[in-house]
């Protein structure tokens, strides 16, 4: 039986990148409680099949519901691309029709129309997100006049997680993807970072981008979208507890999580290990 008492807002990611989403949300909405779950033991999700990503994500969402969350944000582009719709349409009516799961692709695509002048957009993301064409489909629904080009950047996540984002070796892999997407469509004037790890590579991304190309990181837009959602859904807002706390969960070694989280949060944290499945 799931609790009906107010609980934290859940934020799920396959790994550490969702910490950039959590940071952006807490900057704007510090009063709420948050429960962050990283499925680090089974990361990365990017190369995995739709069925596997869906099942792993469903397990995480159920766990967060069991721990008191009424609202869960999939702070992971791959999970948002491969699992969100099925969970919303198939699982929530059975688990609890009053609970909600939101993704991070829609908030970014909603704002993109006001950011581009040329109406040509680039998306840099994991292989799974690019193959899903989720950004293309969402942008076409909202802004049919926008042309979308996407490139997968499989080496970018390891660069961040092995603390190589500032290393000279990272330049080669960053420049390669930037050159590739600008070659696909030289008219691109706005570039979406469709993976929550990528903001940590921002200095190098901007170094190799042509002048005048805007880079869109998701954290701020997801935070704005969540704020708007809670204002429009006061019944859900009342189910979100407000003690300004944050608790971290991982399926991996807690010491490793603490070490990696420092790269994203720049402050020490406490973390608890749990199992999924």
Annotation marks residue 153 as catalytic: no
Q: Do 87 and 12 touch, CB atoms closer than 8 A?
A: no
SS3 180: helix
Q: Do 25 and 86 touch, CB atoms closer than 8 A?
A: no
Annotation marks residue 240 as catalytic: no
Q: Do 76 and 194 touch, CB atoms closer than 8 A?
A: no
Residues 104, 69: Cα–Cα separation, whole Å: 18
Q: Helices (H), strands (E): how many in the chain?
A: 14, 10
Residues 24, 192: Cα–Cα separation, whole Å: 16
Residues 105, 274: Cα–Cα separation, whole Å: 27
Number of Cβ atoms within 10 Å of the Cβ of 168: 8
Q: Which of 69, 76, 177, 240 is catalytic?
A: 76
**Total length of the chain:** 277
Q: Which of 69, 153, 177, 195 is catalytic?
A: 195
Residues 220, 33: Cα–Cα separation, whole Å: 18
Catalytic center residues = 76, 195
């Amino acid at each position: 039986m799931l609790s009906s008492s107010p609980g934290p807002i859940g934020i799920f990611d396959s790994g550490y990148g969702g910490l950039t989403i959590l940071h952006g949300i807490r900057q704007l909405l510090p009063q709420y409680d948050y429960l962050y779950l990283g499925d680090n033991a089974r990361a990365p999700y990017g190369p995995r099949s739709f069925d596997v990503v869906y099942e792993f994500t469903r397990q995480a969402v159920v766990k967060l519901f069991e721990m008191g969350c009424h609202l869960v944000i999939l702070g992971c582009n791959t999970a948002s691309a491969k699992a969100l719709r099925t969970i919303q349409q198939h699982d929530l009516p059975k688990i609890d029709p009053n609970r909600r799961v939101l993704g991070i692709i829609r908030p970014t695509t909603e704002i993109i129309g006001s950011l581009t002048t040329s109406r040509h957009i680039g998306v840099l993301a994991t292989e799974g997100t690019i193959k899903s064409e989720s950004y293309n489909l969402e942008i076409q629904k909202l802004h049919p006049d926008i042309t979308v080009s996407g490139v997968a950047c499989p080496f970018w996540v390891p660069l961040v997680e092995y603390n190589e984002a500032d290393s000279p070796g990272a330049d080669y892999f960053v420049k390669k993807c930037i050159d590739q997407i600008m070659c696909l469509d030289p008219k691109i004037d706005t570039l979406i970072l469709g993976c929550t790890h990528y903001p940590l590579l921002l200095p190098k991304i901007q170094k190799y981008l042509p002048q005048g190309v805007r880079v869109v990181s998701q954290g701020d837009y997801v935070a704005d979208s969540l704020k708007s959602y809670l204002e429009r859904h006061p019944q859900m807002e009342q189910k979100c507890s407000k003690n300004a706390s944050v608790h971290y969960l991982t399926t991996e070694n807690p010491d490793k999580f603490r070490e990696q989280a420092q790269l994203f949060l720049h402050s020490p944290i406490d973390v608890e290990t749990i199992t999924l499945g």
